[in-house]
Amino acid sequence: MADKSGAAQGAKNAKSASKADKAGAQDTQARDDKFVQDVADMDDYARWYQDVVYKADMADLSPVRGCMVIRPYGYALWENMVRGMDDRIKATGHENLYFPLFIPYSFLMKEAEHVEGFAPEVALVTRVGSEELEEPLVVRPTSETVIGYMYAQWVHSYRDLPLLYNQWCNVVRWEKRTRPFLRTSEFLWQEGHTVHRTEEEAEAETLLILNDVYQDFVEKELAIPVIPGRKSESEKFAGALRTYSIEAMMGDGKALQAATSHNLGQNFARSFGIEFQDADGQVKTAWTTSWGASTRLIGALIMAHGDANGLRMPPHVAPTQAIIVPIWRKDEERETVAALVAEVETALRKAGVRVKADWREERPGWKYNEWELRGVPVRIEIGPRDAATGQVTLVPRTDRSAKEAVATSAVAERIPALLEEIQQTLYAQALAFRQSRTYQAADYAAFKELMADKSKQGFVEAWWCGDAVCEAQIKAETQATIRNLPIEHPALPAGAVCVHCGKPAAEWAIFAKAY
């Protein structure tokens, strides 16, 4: 009886201890999951986006309204983006330079369409110390005017052409409604400005940048599929002859203009006297282009790939491609684990992987959730058992259930391959989502129904008559705009009519609600 009673008491004590352990484990798990719990549900997409930006330490609020502080993690991502775009820009024969932040106000007045387009967003400097300036200075919203002025000093002969220049800088547009990365009063970008002999050369330049720089970069490095096309007359850049864009679909089905390329025609050249003596001896007006992409691409990356747990970074641009999480309890275990961590870290760095080890005094589960929130592509778990067996555990951010054990000797080969798999997975998932949310509307009733259904929010392809009045009516009635007129589009069939007004169709257009 005594043995039976003792066994019963032991079982009771074990059960109590098990309950206590379970309760403690639940408390610990709750703390470990805190990062994810603090991120709003994706049904509240605007709140989810803000939570991810701030909780993943991408950016912080600034004391200046509408501006943001880009934190080291966000800035490291931007630096990787800059390298990817800058390499492509230079590979197409362009050179970098820099122009001043301040532009004489009279310069903007020389190009009427340009002034009208930017007037609500322009910030002016009218006073320096106690002195009123004779002429206000515009804080750069874009640089066509000041660059046009300088180009007129540099261009004299057809032998001076083309001018193929680009600058990386900040610009200021005093936005009324702001959102980090997507729309801020000050942001970082690149702006290219070129000068050419003919319209054909300017058009070729505009499309070269659109396709070989922007589309190639966004799809291959950011893993975001885009649609290149021409903007409607109502949506083109102020003062441009033609504007082209690449349009991307975000995780809520809305569109985002990821980059633009403008054939400026001769408008700015005439305003600033950019003329050259051609080979036939005649003095002619030059043709110019401008094109730009900004920190808005960071917002695009977040919204195109993010999930309920936070960011999912494409490996090509991720600040940290692999995070090592050491696991230990006793000091002697820590030493053994540390030796293997150092070995793996060194091997991966030699293989060109951006890797770091997280030695903070936090539980592994807490670290897992934080690095998932930050979107690091691969987590490497190394504990005492791994050290004993000479292997590590890999967990891809795209599928946490797809854990795999890899021998230490094979890590430097497996991780780069896994990173490329993740890169391709992100692109494939984004493309599949866009395809699932792209519709065709044969009539306006179907068009309005699609635009009103938030659960189906996406791109609607339809024939359009090309009339700006019709375009404005669609926007007023549905909040949808023409994102662009795709370069690749179906042939115009006989009898095709505009989705809105029923008049003969002229263009195949992509309509969407947009950021």
CA dist 430 and 427 (Å) reads: 5
- The answer to whether 382 and 324 are in contact (CB under 8 A) is yes
- Per-residue confidence (pLDDT) for residue 3, from 0 to 100: 45
- Per-residue confidence (pLDDT) for residue 239, from 0 to 100: 87
Residue 501 phi, psi (nearest 5)? -100, -15
Q: Which residue has the higher pLDDT, 513 or 177?
A: 513
Query: What letter represents residue 268's amino acid?
Result: F
- Per-residue confidence (pLDDT) for residue 390, from 0 to 100: 94
Count of CB atoms situated within 10 Å of the CB of 420: 12
- The answer to whether 155 and 275 are in contact (CB under 8 A) is yes
Confidence of residue 332 (pLDDT cuts 50, 70, 90): confident
Kindly tell me if the per-residue pLDDT of 6 is higher than 60: no
CATH 3.30.110.30 fits 438-512, yes or no: yes
- Per-residue confidence (pLDDT) for residue 284, from 0 to 100: 98
- The answer to whether 382 and 392 are in contact (CB under 8 A) is yes
Kindly tell me if the per-residue pLDDT of 307 is higher than 50: yes
- Per-residue confidence (pLDDT) for residue 114, from 0 to 100: 60
Kindly tell me if the per-residue pLDDT of 4 is higher than 50: no
- Per-residue confidence (pLDDT) for residue 175, from 0 to 100: 86
- Topology of domain 74-214+225-295, per CATH? BirA Bifunctional Protein; domain 2 (3.30.930)
Kindly tell me if the per-residue pLDDT of 11 is higher than 80: no
- Per-residue confidence (pLDDT) for residue 134, from 0 to 100: 95
Q: Which residue has the tokens 């864009």?
A: 245
- Per-residue confidence (pLDDT) for residue 36, from 0 to 100: 56
- Per-residue confidence (pLDDT) for residue 190, from 0 to 100: 98
Same fold, 74-214+225-295 and 438-512: no
- Per-residue confidence (pLDDT) for residue 64, from 0 to 100: 93
Q: Which residue has the higher pLDDT, 442 or 465?
A: 465
Confidence of residue 121 (pLDDT cuts 50, 70, 90): confident
- Per-residue confidence (pLDDT) for residue 18, from 0 to 100: 43
- Topology of domain 322-434, per CATH? Rossmann fold (3.40.50)
- The answer to whether 287 and 202 are in contact (CB under 8 A) is yes
Count of CB atoms situated within 10 Å of the CB of 515: 18
Query: What letter represents residue 237's amino acid?
Result: F
**Alpha-carbon torsion (266, 269, 272, 277), positive or negative:** negative
Question: For the residues 116-144, what does the mean pLDDT come to?
Answer: 89
Query: Can you give the residue ranges of every domain in the chain?
Result: 74-214+225-295, 322-434, 438-512
- Per-residue confidence (pLDDT) for residue 474, from 0 to 100: 98
- Per-residue confidence (pLDDT) for residue 423, from 0 to 100: 98
Percent of the chain with pLDDT over 90: 87
- Per-residue confidence (pLDDT) for residue 434, from 0 to 100: 98
Confidence of residue 483 (pLDDT cuts 50, 70, 90): very high
Confidence of residue 267 (pLDDT cuts 50, 70, 90): very high
Confidence of residue 70 (pLDDT cuts 50, 70, 90): very high
Question: For the residues 405-417, what does the mean pLDDT come to?
Answer: 97
- Per-residue confidence (pLDDT) for residue 315, from 0 to 100: 98
Give me the chain's average pLDDT, please. 92
Q: Which residue has the higher pLDDT, 379 or 17?
A: 379
pLDDT tens, position by position, 419-430: 999 999 999 999
CA distances from 424 to 297, 298, 404, 421, 430 (A): 19, 19, 19, 5, 10
Confidence of residue 306 (pLDDT cuts 50, 70, 90): very high
- Per-residue confidence (pLDDT) for residue 32, from 0 to 100: 52
